Amino acid sequence: MKLTARFAHRFFSRPTALVGFALFAVIALVALLAPVIFARGPFSIVGMPLLPPGAPGLLAGSDVLGRDMAVGLAYGARISLLVGIASTLFAVGIGVLLGAVAGYYGGLVDDLLMRITEFFQIIPSFVLLMVLVAFLQPSLGSTVIGIALVTWPQVARVVRGEFLSLRSREFVQAARTLGEGDIRIIFTQILPNALPPIVVVSSMMVGSAILTESALSFLGLGDPNLLSWGSMIGGARSAMWVAWWTSVLPGLSIMVTVLALNFIGDGLNDALRPRGPR
């Protein structure tokens, strides 16, 4: 408990981390409560198209089809956060497993796994992602899987590096002499020590996954049955010059969310950095 308190103190004593956390909390709350706050769904038409923000009953104006932008933004947050977090969880799962095995065993196993990792890294990831999503049919699930498949190598690299340096530490040798098995050593001895960089990388990855999802939806490769920030911008292309809010507001939402996640990542990096003489 003491450790948690000290960690929280270190994290929140950074102004950017505090701002990032507050912004993220607000966005997450709006996303969670969207169906409670708004009576109508994001696709229902509420009035004339392209009404500016502040028009009666329309806090954020209406889009090209006359739908409430505010509802769209709130529902878009659900999709962005869901895709960001789910794909990162997947990617971290794959990356930690492969990185840990490669770093712990080394030798041939490491060579083989790293060649596979490099295979994913040398292919232009966005092109691969578009092909994957198009092949699997655009849907929420295919977007999540696609993003996870192109981002896990980052995690695998980080985890492998940590394992390579930690596995030769004397406490790992001690665990072996005590008769602990490989799986136990990987998960209870080494992984807890490798967590800080994994946490930092994943917080940043959520942000980049949100960007990637937006780009896919903008190109029309998102789930056609769901409204996301990217597809809102994509739909607003024709009205960009006459109704700025249709593209700027979802764009700002993306920016603020990703910024908040990066601030959180920075804060975690500082708060988790090992202290003391060694």
Residues making contact with another protein (CB under 8 A): 169-171, 173-182, 184, 189, 192-193, 274, 276-278
Minimum CB distance to another protein smaller for 124 or for 179: 179
Minimum CB distance to another protein smaller for 139 or for 193: 193
CB 272 within 8 A of CB 200: yes
CB 20 → another protein: shortest distance, Å? 26
Long-range CB contact pairs, 110-114, < 8 A, 24+: 110/160, 113/156, 113/160, 114/160
* Separation between Cα atoms, residue 274 and residue 278, nearest integer Å: 8
Minimum CB distance to another protein smaller for 80 or for 269: 269
Minimum CB distance to another protein smaller for 154 or for 189: 189
CB 275 → another protein: shortest distance, Å? 9
Three-class DSSP category at 45: strand
| SS3 assignment for 51-82 | CCCCECCECCCECCCCEEHHHHHHHHHHHHHH
For residue 33 the two structure tokens come to 């409560």
CB 231 → another protein: shortest distance, Å? 44
CB 115 → another protein: shortest distance, Å? 14
Minimum CB distance to another protein smaller for 133 or for 166: 166
Minimum CB distance to another protein smaller for 180 or for 266: 180
Backbone angles phi, psi at 58, to 5 degrees: -120, 95
The residues, ordered by sequence, that sit 6+ positions from 236 with a Cβ below 8 Å of its Cβ are 63, 64, 243, 246, 247, 250
CB 179 → another protein: shortest distance, Å? 4
**Residue in 199, 203, 202, 144 with CA at minimum distance from that of residue 24:** 203
CB 173 → another protein: shortest distance, Å? 5
